[in-house]
Structure formats: C-alpha cells, structure tokens
C-alpha cells in the first residue's frame, strides 16, 4: 500500500548543499522543515548531510527510512486548531563524527556545499585548545575549523568557495561568538595567513535566532493514534507547534544563498535580529518567568492547565499586554509587538505541548535577573505607578524560593502541602535567608541583594511594600 505524502523521487537526486552538526528535534523541526518545503516547491534544491557528534543514539532509523520522517504540526494558531503532517525529505544521510570523519571531510571538498548549520547546545560553542588534525577534533568549533581548512585546501582559497555558517544555539550573537572562537583556534593551530584571510573574507558567520517548540516524538498513545490514521510506522516522527521563526542576520548575498527563505515568511533575513530576540526574551520568556511561581501557587502543573483557568488568564493577559509590552527596553512597533503577544498566548494554550511549570523554574533567579529586571526598571523609568502584575509575579517567585536544605544537598520547598525540588544556583542563599529572619526582613534582604539583581530594588517607589503585601496574601 503506497504511503500518502511521499516526496517526488527527483528530490532524492538533489545535491547535498548543507552540512548540519546536530541531529536534534529542533533542527529537524525548523531549519530542515524550511529546506524541505523549499525543495518541494523547486526552490533551493539541496539536501542536508547531518553530522552526529555524540556517541548517544543511533543513525539506524535514518538509514532504514532513507532519512525520511514525519513532522506532525499540532496546536493553536489565530485561535484555530491546527493539525497537519508532512513527510520531510531534507536529510540525505546521517554520518557519525567518530566513525565517518573522512567522509565528512570529503563533503567539505564538494562544490555543491554552500551552508553549515549547527545546534550543539549552548555549551557546544566554546573554545577547546586542540589540534584540529585529530580524527575528529573534540569540540564543534574544532570540527568546523577542520572542515573549513580542508575546503580551503581543496579550492586553493578561491573566493567563491566560502560558506554561509549559521549557528542556532540559543546564545546572544551566536554567529559572532562562533567566528571569534574559530579564528582564535586557527591561530592556536598556527594555520597559514592566507587561510586566515580566506576564512575572514569569504565565509559568513550569521547570528540567528530560532523559535519553535518541538517536543520530539509523540507519546505512545498519540503515536499509535497518528500511525493508525496515516497508515505507516515512523520511528523518527516528531511533533511541532504551528508557530515558527528563524531570524538570520544577513544581506542580499545571504538571501541569495539561503533561497529557502522565499517559501516561508517565518524565515526572516535582516540586518538586525535584535527585535526578534527582545520580543522572544520579554514577551515569551519574560511572561513565562513572571507567571511560573504564581501558577505553581495556584496548584497548576502545566502551562496548558493554567491557560484553561479564567483566574490565571485574568493575570497573564494584562501582565503581557499592559505591563510587559509597553516597557520592552527596545524600540518596537506596537502592531508587531501586539501580534507577537497574541501568538504567545496561542502557544501557551497548545494542548499538545506539555510544559511543566517546575521545568520552567530551573535557574529561576537568573531568569528573573535577565528577563524581568530590565522590564521592571524600565517601567519605573517610564511610569510612576507600581506594576501590580509584575509585583504579584515577583512576590510569588520569592515565595517559591522559600526553601530548605536537605540531607542529600538539594533544596526543597512546600506549596499547597506538596513538596518540590528547586534547581537554582542561588537556592543556598535563599535557604540561608529564610532560616534566620522574619518575612519582612527576608524580603528586604532579597530585594537589596545587588549580587542577585545588579541593583537595589528597594529604591523603586512602593515596590518593596507591594511585594510584602502580596507575599503575605499567599496561603
């Protein structure tokens, strides 16, 4: 019985234009999805060779399925339920860095290669002082430099042999940081000046931002239901939310190389992606962070569960639209920000994404510092009122961090007679504060701790008193 939705056979003959470091579901559900969509429309016309850099997992399923896998897009978009599926054919093969390094270096010498993509997690973009002649080098920058050096040698440093390199790791200025590490590593390996010139002049490292929730393989119940409906078994299938964004810093040359941007408006190539970073950091991440402890105090386990409650909706909606959106510390067109905020609420409502609030609370203090404090300070800079929903979120955070040390070195708290474990680098500090003083003194110490916030939050008019009042209202 033929499988519905199989790609046209000609797609399997397309040249390998992309070398991708990472087999993770985010890459398979975002960049690879866009490239497949373009190939199916006769644009870009290139497939992906994936490099598996770790020893975990296996490429067997990719080999058995000719690199094919199903993306089930399920969720809410513009208030409407979305339920789509596509068989992605972007991946031509998966190679192991440990076993197939010579084959990877052969791809580096291919005239078809144009693009390198990576998602090696945030810790993957780091400098490891190593010899890049190893088979393979240990770090991702080491592997990348080895690939680029082999390409330089194969094409005698020609200008048109340079590549477009796009890291998708979730760190600010990921392209610039990767480039600086590769350059430093090239110096440490004493590579010739002509190569250094080629590396800097003819290769483009692009900052990028990816945003799509791709939980991965459906759970067994849903998977059985999907496979019964589709009529085939897929050991590589993944679930993805409808929302997607791949923002890439680049110019007309980058647009011409990354022609797949033409088929989906979610691929944005622009000279500055800071707008997208700010919108995601403040409206998505900031709202998550300020809502997290309040949701836990209300007894909610998941984001979807909270979004089904009217009381929670009456908190999160004005928090986002009336307090966060107007004070984003970046010049943002109001219509763009409002549209983005609406999409965030749709994403929070997605019944197919299980986001647990306790998972969101990991490294809570740092998230408050990075995502919330700039908003709070800008609110006071622009207004002379206490932001009541931010206060509620902050007070709930302090209550969540009312923890004690356990015998095994962990930190736990109790809310609604339920014990929970806190994963936070500053948990020890909070445990010490709560062990020795009364509530109002503890809150004062927390708000005045400049190590936590880089500022004394008690100087904000009315903030401390409002936080204490809210804290005391919690059961």
Please provide the DSSP assignment of 449-466 as one string.
-HHHHSS-GGGSTTHHHH
- What is the rounded distance in angstroms from the CA atom of residue 113 to the CA atom of residue 106? 11
Q: What are phi and psi of 411, to 5 degrees?
A: -130, 130
Half-sphere exposure of 204 (CA within 13 A, CB side): 19
pLDDT of residue 1: 47
With a CB cutoff of 8 Å and minimum separation 6, the contacts of 336 are: 275, 279
Helix segments in 243-355, DSSP class H:
252-257, 274-279, 287-297, 303-307, 310-318, 334-348
- What is the rounded distance in angstroms from the CA atom of residue 193 to the CA atom of residue 190? 9
Q: What are phi and psi of 73, to 5 degrees?
A: -95, 115
The alpha carbon dihedral of 317, 322, 328, 333 has a sign of positive
pLDDT of residue 25: 93
With a CB cutoff of 8 Å and minimum separation 6, the contacts of 433 are: 442, 445, 446
Q: What is the CA radius of gyration of the chain?
A: 25
Which pair of tokens denotes residue 404?
């004690």
Number of residues that this document lists for the chain:
475
Distance of CA 448 to CAs 258, 317, 445, 455, 457, Å?
A: 49, 29, 5, 7, 6
> What are the pLDDT tens digits along the chain (475 aa)?
456 678 888 999 999 999 999 999 999 999 999 999 999 999 999 999 999 986 555 678 899 999 999 999 999 888 889 999 999 999 999 999 999 999 999 999 999 999 999 998 767 899 999 999 998 999 999 999 999 999 999 999 999 999 999 999 988 899 999 999 999 999 999 999 999 999 999 999 999 999 999 988 888 998 999 999 988 999 999 999 999 999 999 999 999 999 999 999 999 999 999 999 999 999 999 999 999 999 999 999 999 999 999 999 999 999 999 999 999 988 889 899 999 999 999 999 998 888 899 999 999 999 999 999 999 999 999 998 999 999 999 999 999 999 999 988 899 999 989 999 999 999 999 999 999 889 999 999 999 999 999 999 999 999 999 999 999 999 7
pLDDT of residue 437: 83
CA 336 from centroid of its chain's CA atoms: 21
109 by Cβ neighbours in 10 Å (0-12 / 13-18 / 19+) ranks as: middle
Question: How much is the pTM?
Answer: 0.86
| Torsion of Cα atoms, 126 then 127 then 128 then 134, to 10° | 100
């Amino acid at each position: 019985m033929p499988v519905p939705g199989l790609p046209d056979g000609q797609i399997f003959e397309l040249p390998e234009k992309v070398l991708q470091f990472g087999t993770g579901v985010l890459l398979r559900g975002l960049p690879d999805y866009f490239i497949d969509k373009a190939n199916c429309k006769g644009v870009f016309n290139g497939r992906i060779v994936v490099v598996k850099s770790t020893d975990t997992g296996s490429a067997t399923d990719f080999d058995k399925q000719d690199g094919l896998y199903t993306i089930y897009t399920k969720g809410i978009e513009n208030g409407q339920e979305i339920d789509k599926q596509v068989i992605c054919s972007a991946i031509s093969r998966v190679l192991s860095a440990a076993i197939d390094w010579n084959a990877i270096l052969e791809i580096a010498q291919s005239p078809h290669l144009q693009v390198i993509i990576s998602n090696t997690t945030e810790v993957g973009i780091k400098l490891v002082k190593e010899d890049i002649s190893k088979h393979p080098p240990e770090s991702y920058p080491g592997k990348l430099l080895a690939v680029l050096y082999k390409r330089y040698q194969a094409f005698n440093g020609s200008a048109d042999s340079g590549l477009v390199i796009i890291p998708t790791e979730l760190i600010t200025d990921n392209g610039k940081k990767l480039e600086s590490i590769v350059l430093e590593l090239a110096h440490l390996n004493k590579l010739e000046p002509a190569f250094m010139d080629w590396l800097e002049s003819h290769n483009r490292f692009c900052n990028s931002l990816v945003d799509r929730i791709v939980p991965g393989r459906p759970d067994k119940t849903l998977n059985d239901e999907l496979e019964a409906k589709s009529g085939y078994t897929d050991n590589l299938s993944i679930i993805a939310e409808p929302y997607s964004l791949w923002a890439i810093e680049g110019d007309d040359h980058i647009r011409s190389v990354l022609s797949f941007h033409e088929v989906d408006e979610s691929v944005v190539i622009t000279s500055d992606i800071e707008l997208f970073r700010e919108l995601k950091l403040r409206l998505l991440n900031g709202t998550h962070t300020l809502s997290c402890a309040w949701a836990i105090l209300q007894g909610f386990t998941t984001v979807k569960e909270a979004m089904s409650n009217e009381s929670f909706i009456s908190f999160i909606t004005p928090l986002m639209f009336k307090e966060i959106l107007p004070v984003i510390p970046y010049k943002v067109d109001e219509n763009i920000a409002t549209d983005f905020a609406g999409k965030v609420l749709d994403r929070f409502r997605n019944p197919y994404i299980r986001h647990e609030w306790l998972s969101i609370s990991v490294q809570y203090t740092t998230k408050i510092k990075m995502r919330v404090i700039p908003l709070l300070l800008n609110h006071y800079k622009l207004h002379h009122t206490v932001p009541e929903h931010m206060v509620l979120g902050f007070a709930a955070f302090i209550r969540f961090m009312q923890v004690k040390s356990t015998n095994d070195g962990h930190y736990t708290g109790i809310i609604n007679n339920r014990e929970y474990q806190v994963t936070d680098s500053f948990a020890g500090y909070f445990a010490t504060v709560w062990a020795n003083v009364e509530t109002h003194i503890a809150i004062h110490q927390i708000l005045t701790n400049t190590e936590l916030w880089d500022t004394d939050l008690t100087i904000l008019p009315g903030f401390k008193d409002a936080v204490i009042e809210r804290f005391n209202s919690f059961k």
